[in-house]
Structure 1
């Protein structure tokens, strides 16, 4: 039997490594580069890091002070469309050095709280309560996705690693949510999902005999479910009408349906 505490520690380790990879990308940027626009409308590189720092602080609050976090949830309910942008804007106006230092300090504090959390504890979040492993997985997904935005803005390589298996897992698990958030009935049956990892492993999910399937590179699937690329620019393929519809609407993140990215060569 696997050790749940070891599995949770491994997820936290992966989160730290993903954050360190992004840190290397932004550590030496000049002021002009921090102000570059990213694919997210009205968000610069600074906004992206400010958002990660803001969300890390929210996660730390959820782990350490549930009452105070409840107040943050109330703010989100009161301004569902604006509170994320407001948090990013507040951080982005800081000098880059201060913003970077704050992000680093927040990451360290969150890591310590995640590692210290008692096994089996569930913490409040903006959606359903989350376990320590789920919280770390969600932070890794955000770090990877916003890192992709930053790499796109800089024209830099965002080298994928097998850490994206966490993003894949969220993407698969949120299939029904992607339908429900659009007022659609989720498919009754599971799909078979087979994806090739960056190191060439085959990752499999769902029944092997499922008639509807999704296949392709794991990286492309992650770009799809985080809405960092348009489906037509990716090598993810569907077999079956429900699976095909899912690839049009997939989203691994909470909240209302996102607008996604326009196909390459077009503008939104």
Structure 2
């Protein structure tokens, strides 16, 4: 079984299209999206409609929640007073362009998904997908966060694999968790961002999970394979669209620097 995980598209249609082309060539069984479909680029409706057309199972991101509820400001990361103001301008742009139908779609997205896969030996493997963390949609776990914090979230989610977005930077950690006197290896991962990477690489990032249910999903290290991919796309088209839209050019610069 192959599962593709994408996240944080932020209205960047050219990036999403190229990533979906790449995923399609890998013949995956299912695609899941961790949210933040909209805001900070120009193709808000087009991205939502492509996700809907492809019937990609999607959870709600903090930007989806804010735009879906028609809020003129909502919490997200910013590095300065100027960036906060640019963020408000981006929200106003998105609210003025998104259709009511697409806004209602965003508002109705679930907060998390829980997937359970059962191996042939009877063992089950539970994956929990959330945008922020199990504690909240605006929470962030970075690759350098303490391992004990990851372990706490795994326990809170009651998951063998916890998949989170929101930081726009990919990572995968294997966390040893003690259960009934035994040490079990659990997974935490972030697929990175499709539309607005923040790890110094402008190329969109996604993750492919290959799960072999013929093996013991909890004890065999080869039963669950995690592979990250980066895809090139027409970056110039996305930057030019921002420049010509009235959105703050700051967001075009963010795309270039990653």
TM-score by length of 2: 0.27
Higher share in strand = 2
Higher share in helix = 1
TM-score by length of 1: 0.26
